[in-house]
Amino acid sequence: NAGVTQTPKFQVLKTGQSMTLQCAQDMNHEYMSWYRQDPGMGLRLIHYSVGAGITDQGEVPNGYNVSRSTTEDFPLRLLSAAPSQTSVYFCASRLTGEDEQYFGPGTRLTVT
Amino acid sequence: GDSVTQMEGPVTLSEEAFLTINCTYTATGYPSLFWYVQYPGEGLQLLLKATKADDKGSNKGFEATYRKETTSFHLEKGSVQVSDSAVYFCALIPDSSYKLIFGSGTRLLVRP
């Protein structure tokens, strides 16, 4: 198993540009989520999904969209990038009913 | 709302020193409690967990005990190694929820 994979590892955007951060898992996990990590603030939940076709907002959803058309993939879309979205983004997944979440290696995004 | 509070870092220790990283939480009912570790340049990995009061989680020489009376889940290790240098996150999943809530993280630096 590859586990949870994320692409790209690094990205630089200009203000106003859009892009999609990719996340995939091959463990048949129903639950997937996106977090952003900022210094001194831990990880904050952006969006999550409990299965294909079902998504919901987390703690800091503004400026981000998600969709879940398959069990494996959970892309995160930045509609119009802002400097406040400069952060490290982590995707995670887990089996429903299990506690442990598996994290991807992260995407470091800089918006100038 | 539910939250996790960790001691601020960085914590700097010499090799073989005793480690304590404090973690307290606010949550109703009986949340599940976790410690995750993030090594430089990597995603988060589950270090240990406890799912009910008085449970002790342990892994790789690290331990933490779920203390309901003090709402705490302090991380301890008797003798740290240079390879333990990382950022440690305390986290919880509230009752009847699947959302993982993180503390702000504590950076540990172990010197030879």
**For B4-19, what is each residue's pLDDT tens digit?**
999 888 999 999 999 9
Q: CB–CB of B102 and A44 under 8 A?
A: yes
DSSP for A26-77 reads SS--SEEEEEEE-TTS-EEEEEEEEETTEEEE-SS-TTEEE--SSSSB--EE
**For A11-20, what is each residue's pLDDT tens digit?**
999 999 999 9
Judge whether residue B3 has pLDDT over 80.
yes
Judge whether residue B61 has pLDDT over 90.
yes
Alpha-carbon distance values, B94 to A26, A38, A41, A60, B34 (Å): 27, 23, 19, 18, 11
Judge whether residue B51 has pLDDT over 80.
yes
Instruction: Quote the pLDDT of residue A48.
Output: 95
Instruction: Quote the pLDDT of residue A41.
Output: 80
**For A84-101, what is each residue's pLDDT tens digit?**
999 999 999 999 878 889
Instruction: Quote the pLDDT of residue B97.
Output: 77
Judge whether residue B42 has pLDDT over 90.
no
Contacts of B4 in chain A (CB under 8 A): 42
Contacts of A104 in chain B (CB under 8 A): 43
Mean pLDDT, residues A24-46: 92
How confident is the prediction for chain B on average, in pLDDT?
94
**For B69-93, what is each residue's pLDDT tens digit?**
999 999 999 999 999 999 999 999 9
Name which of B76, B83, B78, B72 is nearest B109 in CA terms.
Answer: B83
From A13's Cα to the closest Cα of chain B, the distance in A is 21
